[in-house]
Each structure stands twice: as structure tokens, then as C-alpha cells.
Chains A and B, each alone.
Chain A
């Protein structure tokens, strides 16, 4: 099989690669948003901890969950 026939998918290239492309985007979004969410929480907690060390009240304390 050549690369050309592989990518042609027997004439169904548009459907097959769109489906696989969409699936890839969904999987990558899942990883990115999960990692981002955890880091965002960590960043927020770090700012909260810093704010508690300094006498000034911080807006970060209004964070809910």
C-alpha cells in the first residue's frame, strides 16, 4: 500500500479523516482541560497562600470552588 492509497481511504477520505480529526481534537481537549483545571486551582491556592502571608487582604479570597 502506498501513502497515497492509504490517505485516499478508498474514496472516503473526507469522512474518515474528518471523523478521526474530530476524535483527536476531543481527546486532546480532554487532556488539556483536565491539566489546565488542576493547574488553575493550584495557581489560585498559591496566590491565596501568598496573600495570607502578607497583611493585605486579597481578592483571591473570594474564590468559591
Chain B
């Protein structure tokens, strides 16, 4: 396992994993969408509008998970100076930002028919919007610094400071009187003894797994790009470049 910590071996491993992860992700999306849009019955209060939940909730979960992963990877890179950890942080940021935007937009589209408004400055929505700006700040900061090591360090510090937003997002529906509803599934206990029907819970869990694997598929592709760029002076990358010249479109 340890040998995959080297960029060269990780590059090869990631290249082999991407097609498998991508295929499983696609199958999970198809199955999850079938259950969520077709099999699950309409909600007795919200009708069919609640079906937005099957993308909104996974996107919102991932927006927080990816941020914590990004900050954690940044910390590992900062403390132990591991290049792959820095690359993971850099590669995670645009994916996390896009999923945060997805959570905000789908939430807004769910809010209109349910609450009568697209947006309200309550604690949950505001702290999630702030998370989006944290991602953008991380991306802008890293893009502004040319030296890869200084860029990684600066990004890691920003990500670590911003991590305080994560518990604020999570507990906002408990600490403050928000328009946003409290979590339906906040703990393992609620998955074992759910407060929502299995016909609605199952697609939600499958879609969440699909989003989770989707993130890892995309982050691996992004990390391969990062590895090539940052290891471009090494012999093994030059060798890949030369062999790739013969079949440039073969790999993702």
C-alpha cells in the first residue's frame, strides 16, 4: 500500500481505477435515479417536488465532506510535506466548489415551491454560501502563487482556517431557528431506524454513494493531471509523454 504514495505509482494506480470507479458510479446513478424519480411515491405534503432531495442532499453532504478532505490533505501536506496530499487538496477544490453550487441551486429550486422563496438569509443557507466562497478563495489563492510548494502551503492554511464553517453548517439547523429543516438522516441510528420511508431512503443512499464515487473518479483524473504537471522534470513523466505521443487520445 505504501508504495502508492509515490506519484509515479499513484499515477498508474489511478489510471487503472478510473474506468472501474466510473462504471460503478454510472450504474449507481442509473439505479438511484430510477428508484428516486420513478419508483418512490410522491410525498404526502410536498408532492413530487421533494424528489429534488435525491440530488440536493448528496450534493450538500459532499460539499462538506470534500472540504474536510481538502483541509485534511492540506494539513498532511503542510506537516509531512507529502506532495500527493497537496495534489489531492488542489484537485478536490473545483469539484467541491461545483458540488456546493449544486447544493445551493437545487436547494433554491426546492425552496421556491416548499417555502415560497428561492433564498432566505438563514444560518444554514448563509453558511453553505460561505463554504462556496471558501472554495473559490482557495482556488484563487492557489492560482495566484506560482511556486507549487508555497501555493500548497497557502491553500492549506486557508482551508484549515475555513474548516470552522463545517460544524456551523451542520449544527445551524439546531443552533438557530432556521427555515431549513433539520436533518432527516443525521446519524447511523436514523439509517437503521429511519424517519423516512425505505422507498425514499434507498434512492437517497444510492445517490449519495454515486456522488461519493463520482467525486473519487473525478479527483483521480484531476490528480493525474496535477502529477504530470508537477513531476514533469522526472524521467518517468518524460517517458510517458514520449509514449503518449503515439496514442494521445487513448487515456482519460
Please report A residues at the B interface, Cβ cutoff 8 Å.
1, 6, 9-12, 15-16, 18-20, 22-23, 26-27, 29-31, 33-35, 37-43, 45-46, 48-49, 64-65
Q: Which of A16, A31, A37, A43 contacts B248 (CB 8 A)?
A: A43
Which of B56, B95, B229, B248 lies at the interface centre, i.e. has the most chain A CB atoms within 10 A of its CB?
Answer: B229
**B30 within 8 Å of A (CB atoms):** no
Interface residues of B in 207-248 (CB under 8 A from A): 214, 218, 221-222, 224-225, 228-230, 232, 237-238, 241-242, 244-245, 248
Q: Which one of A12, A16, A22 contacts B102 once the chains associate, using CB atoms below 8 Å?
A: A22
A35 vs B217: C-alpha distance in the bound complex, in angstroms? 11
A10 — which chain B residues lie within 8 A by C-beta?
42, 47-49
DSSP class of A's interface residues: helix, strand, loop or mixed? helix
Residues of A within 8 A of B56 (CB): 19
A33 / chain B contacts, CB cutoff of 8 Å: 94
Q: Is the CB of B229 within 8 A of A41?
A: yes
B208 to chain A, nearest CB (A): 13
Contacting pair B102 A15 (CB below 8 A): no
How many chain B residues have a CB neighbour from A under 8 Å?
A: 44
Q: Jot down 11 A-B pairs with beta carbons below 8 A, ordered by A.
A: A6-B38, A9-B51, A15-B112, A20-B55, A29-B98, A30-B218, A34-B222, A38-B222, A43-B248, A65-B229, A65-B230
Contact for B241 among A22, A23, A31, A49, CB less than 8 A: A49
Majority-rule SS of B interface residues: helix
Q: Give A65's nearest chain B residue, CB to CB.
A: B229
Q: Is B99 a contact partner of A35 (Cβ separation < 8 A)?
A: no
- The reply to whether A19 and B109 form a contact with Cβ atoms under 8 Å apart is yes
Chain B 31-49, CB within 8 Å of chain A: the 1/0 string? 0000001100010000111
CB distance from A38 to the nearest CB of B (A): 4
Docked-complex contact B105 and A22, CB < 8 angstroms: yes
Taking a contact as CB atoms under 8 Å apart, the answer to whether B252 and A9 are in contact is: no
Minimum CB–CB distance for B43 against chain A, Å: 9
Known: A38-B225, A64-B146. A11 touches B232 (CB 8 A): no
A37 to B139, CA, bound (A): 15
Q: Is B59 in the interface zone, CB < 8 Å from A?
A: yes
Question: Do residues A16 and B52 form an inter-chain contact, with CB atoms below 8 A?
Answer: yes
Shortest distance from the beta carbon of A26 to any chain B beta carbon, whole Å: 5
Once the chains bind, are B148 and A65 in contact (CB under 8 Å)?
A: yes
CB of B172 closer than 8 Å to a CB of A? no
